[in-house]
């Protein structure tokens, strides 16, 4: 392995000068710095991670906690896309990411993170009321949460209020007045925001709110969504459009509609949420809210690394990332 001593010998300078050049110190000339960096690259020099850790007191390793209730892990298209944004940004800043072991009963999440010497942690999907999660957030390790707000750490959240408002407004613009909503678990902050936006938008549009049109389900559960769809279709005055908690749940709605001998959007319209690739593969293509997963992931990694590297400048922030409507084909025009 090439060392700074080898580079110093080749350049006929001191090891200290090589170190300053490679670390972009300003007390050496630009020409000298570029020359030394060029020689280092030609010789295949890579900084020793152990030596770098001793110098900076960092491991350049970020922990990621992903523990969703559906146990879908990286098959969860939304969060896998978010984590790809995390990975890209972290690697561009010289950091690796490691998943936190959620099956280690001998250590709590916080203890595991301390054991692995993580410089910081991104919490992307979990039960935020879990005492172990609270212990992690309240500890000394810098943390950033995604889609959940705590007062003592930075949070990056999708603008669920604006997203739902714009989706309801779009459905309304297509002539629909009987708009149902099958939502995810009420205890989740995402659900609370979307439900509030749904009710408020209907009120702003002067649409009478029918509680029969609001049905509970779970995120990423097509069977529950299918069952809820049957209940809506069986109403004396069924809705003309159903909004689902996510794009996967739309497939359950499609099954129910087909089993009743109906068609989308000719007989009933439906819309999803997330803007996954799956949603645009369905026939008809799903009308949905596309969340900017790349920006969410990169923002989370950027904020966390800034906190790690500049702790004196750090304070809790709320980063809100807007999405956009994909009109698709599953919401048809309703003749009023």
**pLDDT digit string, tens, across residues 175-231:** 999 999 999 988 888 999 999 999 999 999 999 999 999 999 999 899 999 999 999
Q: What would the two tokens of residue 301 be?
A: 């990694």
Q: Which residues of 175-189 are buried (b: 16+ CB within 10 A; e: fewer)?
A: ebbbbbbbbbeeebe
pLDDT of residue 54: 53
Count Cα neighbours of 258 within 13 Å in the Cβ-side half-sphere: 9
Q: d(Cα 286, Cα 273) in Å, to the nearest integer? A: 9
Q: d(Cα 106, Cα 124) in Å, to the nearest integer? A: 23
Contact, 310 vs 119, CB < 8 A?
A: no
pLDDT of residue 256: 97
pLDDT of residue 188: 86
State whether the Cα torsion 288-293-294-296 is positive or negative. Answer: positive
pLDDT of residue 314: 85
pLDDT of residue 72: 59
pLDDT of residue 56: 56
Vertex 81, ends 186 and 128: CA angle to 5°? Answer: 35
pLDDT of residue 217: 95
Q: Which domains does the chain have, with CATH numbers?
A: 4-47 (1.10.260), 61-157+294-322 (3.40.50.2300), 160-291 (3.40.50.2300)
Q: d(Cα 49, Cα 46) in Å, to the nearest integer? A: 9
Contact, 273 vs 300, CB < 8 A?
A: no
Count Cα neighbours of 2 within 13 Å in the Cβ-side half-sphere: 15
pLDDT of residue 125: 76
pLDDT of residue 272: 97
pLDDT of residue 68: 64
Contact, 263 vs 256, CB < 8 A?
A: no
The residue ranges of the chain whose pLDDT is under 70 are 48-57, 68-75, 104, 336
pLDDT one-digit tens code per residue, 220-263: 899 999 999 999 999 999 999 999 999 999 999 999 999 999 99
């Amino acid at each position: 392995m090439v060392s700074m001593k080898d580079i110093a010998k080749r350049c006929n300078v001191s090891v200290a000068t090589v170190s300053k050049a490679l670390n972009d110190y300003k007390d050496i000339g630009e020409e000298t710095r570029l020359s030394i960096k060029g020689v280092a690259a030609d010789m295949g020099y890579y900084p020793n991670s152990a030596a770098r850790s001793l110098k900076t007191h960092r491991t350049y390793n970020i922990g990621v906690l992903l523990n969703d209730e559906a146990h879908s892990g990286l098959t969860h298209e939304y969060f896998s896309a978010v984590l790809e944004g995390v990975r890209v940004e972290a690697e561009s800043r010289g950091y690796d990411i490691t998943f936190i072991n959620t099956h280690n009963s001998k250590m709590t999440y916080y203890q595991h993170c301390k054991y692995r010497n993580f410089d910081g942690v991104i919490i992307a999907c979990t039960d935020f009321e879990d005492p172990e999660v609270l212990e992690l957030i309240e500890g000394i390790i810098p943390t950033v949460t995604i889609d959940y707000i705590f007062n003592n750490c930075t949070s990056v959240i999708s603008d669920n209020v604006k997203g739902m408002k714009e989706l309801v407004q779009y459905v309304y613009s297509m002539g629909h007045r009987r708009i149902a909503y099958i939502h995810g678990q009420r205890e989740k902050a995402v659900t609370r925001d979307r439900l509030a936006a749904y009710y408020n938008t209907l009120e702003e549009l002067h649409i009478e709110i029918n509680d029969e049109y609001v049905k509970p389900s779970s995120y990423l559960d097509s069977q529950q969504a299918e069952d809820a769809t049957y209940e809506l279709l069986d109403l004396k005055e069924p809705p003309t459009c159903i909004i689902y908690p996510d794009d996967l749940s739309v497939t359950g709605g499609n099954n129910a509609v087909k089993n009743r001998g109906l068609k989308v959007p000719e007989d009933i319209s439906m819309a999803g949420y997330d803007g996954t690739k799956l949603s645009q593969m369905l026939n008809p293509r799903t009308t949905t809210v596309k969340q900017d997963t790349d920006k969410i992931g990169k923002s989370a990694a950027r904020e966390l690394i800034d906190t790690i590297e500049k702790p004196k400048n750090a304070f809790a922030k709320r980063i809100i990332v807007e999405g956009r409507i994909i009109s698709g084909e599953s919401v048809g025009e309703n003749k009023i």
